Structure 1
Amino acid sequence: MYNIALGIIIGLIFISLIVLFCILLVKLYIKKIREHNQKELSFQKTLNETIIETQEHVLNNISKDLHDDAGQQLTVINFQLEHLKLDSPEWNAALSPLSESVGKLSQSIRSISHALNNQLVVQQDLLKAISAEVERLQKNTKVTIVFSLESKPKTEFSSNEKIIIYRIFQECINNSLKHAKATEISVSVQTTPKFQMAIGDNGVGFEIKNQSKKSLGLISMDTRAASINYQLTIVSALGKGTTITLTDNKNS
């Protein structure tokens, strides 16, 4: 009887050790998976940051080239036109429209150069920068752009937030102007209770069934939003236009 009881006890201890060993193995496996996932997330975050940094570097170079090269050449052309008008007053009537067009083109290039340069965006108030870009577009496109802003109290954004929010705004507008065939674009920005920017159009729209079917531009916007912990929501259907909403997700 004693031997049977001892055997049962030893068996229970052995089973307990096996169970404990299995639990330890499972915990170790879970830990390894978490560490692997964290490394993957860290790598993906680093990769996304590198891509965004490269994109910004390219845009800054384009901005510099527009300002230093194209802008200066237009200034020289306008200077030559003014001299020609002084030397040949009889050509004033013919040259004045050309001089005016060159001046407008020069101003347009200057505005585009500023819009592409992230340092200028960082130095400005973000909402004023968006408002100024909408105003520029309203003057230079036949598409109706309706802008509404609710900002009370004044909201502070980090430099990274300013750049990324502004780039997403630009990408949305660019998509609506180039691909959506829209006749009207609405831009709505609110900062309370949290920041939210919604850009909608009445264009052709499209269908999104899964992430893999998103265009490169939409994926890029999604990546940029995630890098500052914002959420990008896309609502679209064929023939019903598109609305893209960017929401601050940090305190959710």
Structure 2
Amino acid sequence: MNTNLAFGIVIGVLFASLVVLFCILLGKLYINKIKNYTKVIYQKDIDFQKTLNSTIIETQEQVLNNISQDLHDDAGQQLTYINFQIENLKLDSPLLKETLEPLSESVSNLSKSIRSISHSLNNQFITKQDLLKVIESEVERLQKNPFIALTFIKKDKIEKAFTINEKIVIYRIFQETINNAFKHSKATEIAITIQNNRGFVMTISDNGKGFDYELIKENATNLGLKNLIARASIINYTVEIQSKKEKGTSIILSEKDT
């Protein structure tokens, strides 16, 4: 009788252990299933956000291309016509030649500036050129501003082969960062540094008034900085923002695997 009781207890303990083990395994399977489901949902959310960002940027690029075309076809042609009229006046009235010369030069310089701006807005021009040369050319144009000193440094001779999307996004981030520095930073110096040795890294630093990024990064109205980050994510790059009040700002764009 005691033997049967002991045997029954053993069987009961084994059964209870199997039930507990089964519950543990079932719980683990359920948790893994929830984790996998969460990962899928998260990835779908990321993919959707990337698609949305990509669509927004495509729309922005189309608008910029349209503006570029309007500048080239309308403003550019009108300036060419004005310069043509001035040159005719010089020929018809030789005594006015010296007076009209500064005006002719100003119109010519304005025409060159508009052509340069038109090129910088047109992504077809960007994609057909060497990216670093396009950036360097834009820096040279901006260096004519007498109030802000710009420097451009290429640290490596190795040239990265950029995709079309990389060229467009990197250049737009460069443009927006420089534009923000000109408009808001009150900087007197801006340095653009690019290195290609172990992956692409572009750093744009200014000596302006800076800001507390931790305080404003969650601000819904802070679309400029969010736009930089959204653009970078489309090409699998990251944007790091370093800024302190009265100590300037640095925007660092880099590939995620660098």
Hey, what's the Cα distance between the residues in 2 that align with 1:71 and 1:140? 22
Deviation at 1:60, TM superposition (A): 1.0
Q: Which residue of 2 aligns with 1:246?
A: 253
Deviations 1:197-225 (A, max 9, x none): 11111111111115313831111111111
Which piece of structure 1 moves more, 224-233 or 212-221? 212-221
Q: In terms of Rg, which structure is larger? A: 2
Deviations 1:63-93 (A, max 9, x none): 1111111111111111112122222223222
Instruction: Tell me: CA distance 1:193–1:20, structure 2 relative to 1, closer, same or farther (3 Å).
Output: closer
TM-score (norm 1): 0.93
Q: Which residue of 2 aligns with 1:18?
A: 23
Q: Which residue of 1 aligns with 2:121?
A: 116
Give 2:175's match in structure 1, choosing from 170, 190, 193: 170
Are 2:87 and 1:82 equivalent residues in the alignment?
yes
Q: CA RMSD in A?
A: 1.7
The gaps in structure 1 that reach 5 residues or longer are none
Are 2:237 and 1:227 equivalent residues in the alignment?
no
Contact 2:50 2:233 in 1 (8 A): no
Deviations 1:102-133 (A, max 9, x none): 11100000000001111111111111111111
Are 2:69 and 1:64 equivalent residues in the alignment?
yes
Deviation at 1:196, TM superposition (A): 1.4
Output the amino acid matched with 2:223.
Answer: L
Aligned residues: 251
Q: Which residue of 1 aligns with 2:133?
A: 128
1:70-219 paired onto structure 2 within 5 Å: 70-210=75-215, 211-213=217-219, 215-219=222-226
Percent identical: 51
TM-score (norm 2): 0.91
- SS of aligned partner of 2:152: strand
Hey, what's the Cα distance between the residues in 2 that align with 1:234 and 1:225? 13
Output the amino acid matched with 1:199.
Answer: I
Deviation at 1:191, TM superposition (A): 1.2
- SS of aligned partner of 1:179: helix
Hey, what's the Cα distance between the residues in 2 that align with 1:7 and 1:155? 69
Q: Which residue of 1 aligns with 2:12?
A: 7
Output the amino acid matched with 2:40.
Answer: E
- SS of aligned partner of 1:153: coil
Hey, what's the Cα distance between the residues in 2 that align with 1:151 and 1:12? 65
